[in-house]
Chains A and B, each alone.
Chain A
Amino acid sequence: MAAGIREKQTVALKRMLNFNVPPVKNSTGEPVWKVLIYDRFGQDIISPLLSVKELRDMGITLHLLLHSDRDAIPDVPAVYFVMPTEENIDRMCQDLRNQLYESYYLNFISAISRSKLEDIANAAIGANAVTQVAKVFDQYLNFITLEDDMFVLCNQNKELVSYRAINRPDITDTEMETIMDTIVDSLFCFFVTLGAIPIIRCSRGTAAEMVAVKLDKKLRENLRDARNSLFTGDTLGAGQFSFQRPLLVLVDRNIDLATPLHHTWTYQALVHDVLDFHLNRVNLEESTGTESSPAGARPKKKNKKSYDLTTSDKFWQKHKGSPFPEVAESVQQELESYRAQEDEVKRLKSIMGIEGEDEGAISMLSDNTAKLTSAVSSLPELLEKKRLIDLHTNVATAVLEHIKSRKLDVYFEYEEKIMSKSTLDKSLLDMISDPDAGTPEDKMRLFLIYYISSAQVPSEIDLEQYKKALMDAGCNLAPLSYIKQWNLFSRVMNTGSQFVMEGVKNLVLKQQNLPVTRILDNLMEMKSNPETDDYRYFDPKMLRGSDSSVPRNKNPFQEAIVFVVGGGNYIEYQNLIDYVKGKQGKHVLYGCSELFNATQFIKQLSQLGQK
């Protein structure tokens, strides 16, 4: 598992695009062209991993959505990458009947059922196209990898597996079953791609437990079926440099509701919180000029720009976890170094002009030519660097504007203090009734965090006061009602206590561990802690499906996967990364059923509170 999950998924995709034959490195190979057809799920999976240029390099001339109007392009092989749903299958059968392409390579994102396979067979026979269907594969890639060590389940049908869907009071058993099945299916695909069978631990009595039970059952069934097991053969060989199996920690969102509402200070989390950031793409709206337009003229149009923040962006990789002021400084530094290099190239030009007349020494002339060649070849790098600097300047400026207008730094400081139980120098009421600090939503978030993390329930009078202040500020009180109900259920989970605080610097992230990180730490290091001691323990490889909570393995784990059922966000991810940085040789992957920022979470809470 030394290679990240991102690499594994990319390798699997590239192999699929190469007609499921491992690609051979051949610089002078003949071009082979093909057409790629995907549905929205496939699009979400492919877009963070492969750019259009990389698709081109693999020989893909066209990439189209399954349900768009497609014309017949005969004598071209077509690679399909779709989910095996009814409508997709129907459309594929239609394609077969219309003879759109020369040969068909069908790849299903998750396993297809036998009956649907027969439907396709039927259509193929009807269209006399059985020989054209060259290969059919189950790819088991039903998850979206965003970073080297972070993955999300799905982006398209987020509402089906959202926090709200799972925690609705009026949910029926069948609905719950379907949701759990979707989650388990994706987790199963994840482990197939990873090539390892984990040891599962989960807390009791939560949705996470249901997921764990089902996942355990599915893995067990697959292992029993020795003929078709997905975990034998070369998959195990590649991933077995460590003889340990990874640890899968399934947690439910309900252990820590404060973190998604938290105002944050690191670059990536800020971008996600403040701007429109999906699947590693950020959409900025830029207004083109701030002068007042004359009366009667049309309003100035705003430019929408979107940027991709990928792993090839070195600045992003280095700074996505750093606090915002550091980021601003680094952008300045990069800009300066870029200017220095640009001057270097310009200076070369003047040197060339002077020494061009000197014909004497051979070596000096060849040196000049070499310098020129190196300058020319470094130009693309310089241009790329400039583009990145521009990109980050724009993004950082947008974020900064938001921070300034909403006074997010004040909120951040205040919340940190609340969550770490130090004394508050400004009362909560003042913060809420302050008119120019933040949107009503920010105030709501602040109050909810206070409510969740306070040790005892604030008295009724106080509550009324707060409520009135919140209403004056224009907030919707529905989330509050939901949190109240939630509190009644789970007062046992004492999230407020036990924070470890190190260092007291203003506006710098303190090294405190969020609840999820703490749980992971306990489980990985086999520490005994009342919180995690009664977590259930599942081992799919064991013959007897036991229910014991006694772990058989006493050694600390080297690799772990944390999966949050009900939604996660970048703050937790960043916290985990920071935790792992301090430990040598440990790898942690973070996954969640959906990724939301505070705004979306508040919306879900208010929907829940309104019921």
Chain B
Amino acid sequence: MAVDITLLFKASVKTVKTRNKALGVAAGDSAKDELLKRSAARCKSDFTSRAREVISHIGKLKDFLLQHRKDYINAYSHIMSEYVRMTDTERDQIDQDAQVFMRTCADAIHLLRTEAHKGVQSAQVKEHRSAVLDFIEDYLKRVCKLYSEQRAIRVKRVIDKKRLSRLEPEQSNVSTSPLSPEKSSLNPFDDSEEKLSAEETKDRNLPDAQSNVGLWGDGKGEDELSPEEIQMFEQENQRLVGEMNNLFDEVRQIEGKVVEISRLQEIFTEKVLQQETDIDNIHQLVVGATENIKEGNEDIREAIKNNAGFRVWILFFLVMCSFSLLFLD
């Protein structure tokens, strides 16, 4: 366990001060030095103050998201309370605002990154600043994750809601028919409690509803339109409603899938970007290697030439020597 000796330290500071006073030693720098020191620190801390601003912005965004999170999600529970209903437009507004905010924060970080390396000499400060910027980006990513989680939940709930709401037209149709009130009112409730994924049950309900309505339509009969025509129109209505609902449903599902795919896409882009830097490195190395090889070839050619020339000279020298030996007495 660590022992906090800060108090001990402060006590020793006091001791030293009194000792210094007793010995008459000058007590520290003058106020002027302090001012100089402070001003120097102030202009260097520009980077830090801006970094802290960005962090406070991101903090505000996070608070905003967390604050409205409950309303955002809660309104989808089947028990709707009076006060905390959020309309869809409000939710869209929140989404939009959050996105704009995130984009501005990302831009600010980018700007800081480009500026951070100007006017700085030491490598350690550079490293420190880039690490600080990494931290801030990480923070932003975490807050964005909050937002995208919320959004994913929302989309999922809408899909489920649409699946449930598919039964509402059948429910309203069947409940008005006096022919089989209890049985038909029981049917949708049962269905809503069971799993809704099977299409067959819905399809079964539709013909039921249609047949009920058809009977009902037959029973009433209007003056202007013949009963058969009314029935046909009703059937066509039902069919169109069903088709529209199908399409709408599929669109919602596709939206959900797209959200998932976009997440996967993010992961892939990250990996591809990482590979990009690697490939750039490899490219540089390969270019360097080709240069080296070219130079190497040149050197080898020179060497061969020199070798050949050297040999010629040696031969010549030897021949001259032998001739001189032969012909000089």
Contact = CB atoms under 8 A, between A and B. Distances in A.
Interface string A29-63: 01101010000000000000000000010010110
B143 interface: yes
Contact of B12 (A12, A111, A117, A376): A117
B29 A128 contact: yes
Interface string B36-65: 010011001100100000010001001000
A140 B131 contact: no
B124 A230 contact: no
B264 A75 contact: no
B1 A31 contact: no
A31 B52 CA distance: 10
Interface stretch (A119-127, A304-312, A339-347): A119-127
Nearest to A116: B12
Interface string B238-265: 0000000000000001000100110110
A510 interface: no
Given A28-B146, A136-B9, A125 B136 contact: no
Contact of A56 (B13, B15, B131, B136): B131
Interface stretch (A245-253, A366-374, A404-412, A558-566): A366-374
Interface of A: 12, 15-16, 20, 27-28, 30-31, 33, 35, 56, 59, 61-62, 64, 70-71, 73-76, 99, 102, 107, 111-112, 114, 117-118, 120-122, 124-128, 130, 133-140, 192-193, 195, 228, 230, 234-235, 362-363, 365-366, 369, 372-373, 376
Contacts of A76: 48, 128
A454 to B, nearest CB: 49
B2 to A, nearest CB: 5
B13 A121 contact: yes
Contact of A126 (B28, B34, B40): B28
A138 B5 CA distance: 7
A28 B1 contact: no
B12 A27 contact: no
29 contacts: A12-B1, A12-B2, A15-B2, A27-B142, A31-B55, A31-B136, A33-B132, A61-B131, A61-B132, A62-B127, A62-B128, A74-B41, A75-B45, A99-B37, A117-B12, A125-B13, A128-B33, A128-B34, A128-B37, A134-B6, A136-B8, A138-B5, A228-B3, A365-B257, A369-B260, A369-B261, A372-B264, A376-B264, A376-B268
B267 interface: yes
A278 to B, nearest CB: 27
Given A73-B125, A369-B260, A136 B6 contact: yes
B291 interface: no
Contact of B28 (A118, A125, A195): A125
Nearest to A234: B1
A135 B4 contact: yes
Interface in B9-41: 9, 12-13, 15-17, 20, 27-29, 33-34, 37, 40-41
Nearest to A139: B2
A595 B270 CA distance: 44
A140 B1 contact: yes
Contacts of B28: 125-128
A82 B241 CA distance: 76
B16 to A, nearest CB: 5
Contact of A366 (B13, B127, B128, B257): B257
Interface string B115-140: 00000001011011001100110110
Contacts of A70: 124
A130 B44 CA distance: 21
Nearest to A16: B2
B124 A195 contact: no
A124 B13 contact: yes
A116 to B, nearest CB: 10
Contacts of B135: 31, 33, 59, 61
B197 interface: yes
Nearest to A235: B1
Interface residues of B, number: 51
A521 B146 CA distance: 56
Given A61-B128, A118-B16, A31 B9 contact: no
A16 B1 CA distance: 10
Contacts of A363: 197
A114 B12 contact: yes
Contact of B15 (A62, A118, A193, A235): A118
A559 to B, nearest CB: 19
A124 B15 CA distance: 13
B2 A20 contact: yes
B137 to A, nearest CB: 10
A138 B2 contact: yes
A373 B152 CA distance: 15
B291 to A, nearest CB: 19
B267 A376 contact: yes
Contact of B125 (A27, A28, A71, A133): A71
Contacts of A139: 2
B264 A130 contact: no
Interface in B131-163: 131-132, 135-136, 138-139, 142-143, 146
Contact of B128 (A15, A35, A127): A35
A81 to B, nearest CB: 11
Chain B CB within 10 Å, residue with most, of A122, A124, A369, A376: A122
Contacts of B34: 128
A362 to B, nearest CB: 6
Given A70-B124, A121-B16, A30 B4 contact: no
Nearest to A12: B2
Contact of B5 (A35, A112, A124, A235): A112
Nearest to A228: B3
B134 to A, nearest CB: 8
A28 B9 contact: no
A137 B5 contact: yes
A359 to B, nearest CB: 9
Nearest to B4: A137
B64 to A, nearest CB: 13
Nearest to B44: A74
Given A73-B124, A120-B9, A373 B2 contact: no
Nearest to A27: B142
B295 to A, nearest CB: 17
Contact of B2 (A107, A122, A124): A107
A139 B29 CA distance: 32
A366 B253 CA distance: 9
Interface string B65-95: 0000000000000000000000000000000
Contacts of B6: 134-137
Sorted from nearest, which 7 A-B pairs have the closest CB atoms?
Answer: A61-B131, A31-B135, A71-B122, A121-B13, A136-B9, A138-B3, A121-B12
Chain B CB within 10 Å, residue with most, of A59, A99, A138, A235: A138
Contacts of A12: 1-2
Contact of B9 (A56, A71, A133): A133
A130 B136 CA distance: 31
A372 B260 CA distance: 10
A112 B12 CA distance: 13
Contacts of B253: 362
A361 B257 CA distance: 14
Contact of B8 (A117, A122, A195): A117
Contacts of B8: 114, 117, 136
Contact of B55 (A30, A127, A140): A30
